[in-house]
A and B are shown apart, each in its own frame.
Chain A
Amino acid sequence: MSAAAKIASFNRHGVLAIYRFELSRFKRTVWQSLVTPVITTSLYFVVFGAAIGSRMSEVGRRALRLLHRAGADHAVAVYRKPQQCLVRDLPAEVHRHYYEVLSAPVSALEIVLAYVGAAATKSVILGLVILATATLFVPMRIEHPLWMIAFLALTAATFSLFGFIIGIWAKGFEQLAVHPDAGHYPRLPFWAGPSIRSIYCRPRGAR
């Protein structure tokens, strides 16, 4: 099939139907999808601020809490992205009703585009909401806003694809927990990257 024929046969109605259905699911589960991460972020800043307080150090002339704001936004989004994609996949697999999608006149590319696109869209929305929440606690100034959107969108697409893979691979809820349990939580100690040293390492000259 030529490229022109492939474009002409692209089932945009099917893609849009799946995409809209997934976004409407986001609205139906607004407490789980949106409110919970906002509360978690708020608590993070309150607890972290109270625990570190005046001992908050400077890393590269930036207060550590400012560095963590970007990390918090990114980490919450990274964690939620695969979840949003695989939470859709798994019940379909467990209840064996994948045939609904597989029997529909949509190609593999269109399925991936619709599901991953919807998950990435939800994640970008969530990331921006988390960012707005964080600005209530720390001042914000974005040096490169376009690059910020680009990194957010690219990370959203990447981890939505990752969630799609886990959603297809997982046979039950135990395997579903592989990502958060084995992938996300052990990563938290390294979450802030090398800058985390400033919390755990003794300042130079201190005994």
Chain B
Amino acid sequence: MSLFNPIVYLVSGFRWSFYGTSDVGVAVSLAATLALFILCLAVVVWVFRTG
């Protein structure tokens, strides 16, 4: 159930950088973090375009 929480992927990637091991693969963590960043960026762009 925890895997439905996007923050798990962020924390997991962060943990991997500390210990070299993590619950989720680092590539998946990085992809999830980048996806969340792009999503937030897209919303900000949409907000400024639509007013």
* Chain A interface bracket (under 10, 10 to 19, 20 to 34, 35 or more): 35 or more
CB-nearest residue of chain B relative to A61? B21
For chain B, the bracket of interface size reads: 20 to 34
Is there contact, CB below 8 Å, between A108 and B48? yes
With both beta carbons as reference points, the residue of chain A lying nearest to B37 in the complex is identified as: A158
- Residues of A near B5 (CB, < 8 A) are 187, 190, 193
> Please, how many angstroms separate the alpha-carbon atoms of A16 and B3 in the complex?
40
Instruction: State whether the Cβ of B36 lies closer than 8 Å to any Cβ in chain A.
Output: yes
Q: Does B11 contact A (CB under 8 A)?
A: yes
Q: In the complex, which of the residues A151, A158, A187 contacts B14, with contact meaning CB atoms closer than 8 Å?
A: A151
Partner of B16, one of A75, A112, A144, A161: A144
Given contacts A161-B44, A164-B44, contact A70 B2 (CB under 8 A): no
Q: How many A-B Cβ pairs are below 8 Å?
A: 98
A191 and B11: CB pair below 8 A?
yes
From 1 to 51 in chain B, residues with beta carbon under 8 angstroms from any chain A beta carbon are 1-3, 5, 7-8, 10-21, 23-24, 26, 29-30, 33-34, 36-37, 40-41, 43-44, 47-48
Most buried by B among A71, A158, A187, A193: A193
The DSSP consensus for interface residues of chain A is helix
Q: Which residue on B lies nearest to A145, using beta carbons?
A: B17
Q: Across the interface, which residues of B come within 8 angstroms of A161, CB to CB?
A: 37, 40-41, 43-44
Using A158-B37, A190-B5, A194-B23 as known contacts, say yes or no to A74 and B14 having CB atoms under 8 A apart.
yes
Give a binary string over A65-77; 1 marks a CB under 8 Å from any B CB, 0 the rest: 0110111011100
Are A165 and B17 in touch, CB under 8 angstroms? no
Residues of B within 8 A of A78 (CB): 7, 10
Contact of B20 among A67, A144, A158, A195 (CB under 8 A): A144
- Digitize A164-184: 1 where CB-to-B-CB distance is under 8 Å, 0 elsewhere: 110010000000000000000
Contact residues, A52-103 vs B (CB, 8 A): 60, 62, 66-67, 69-71, 73-75, 78
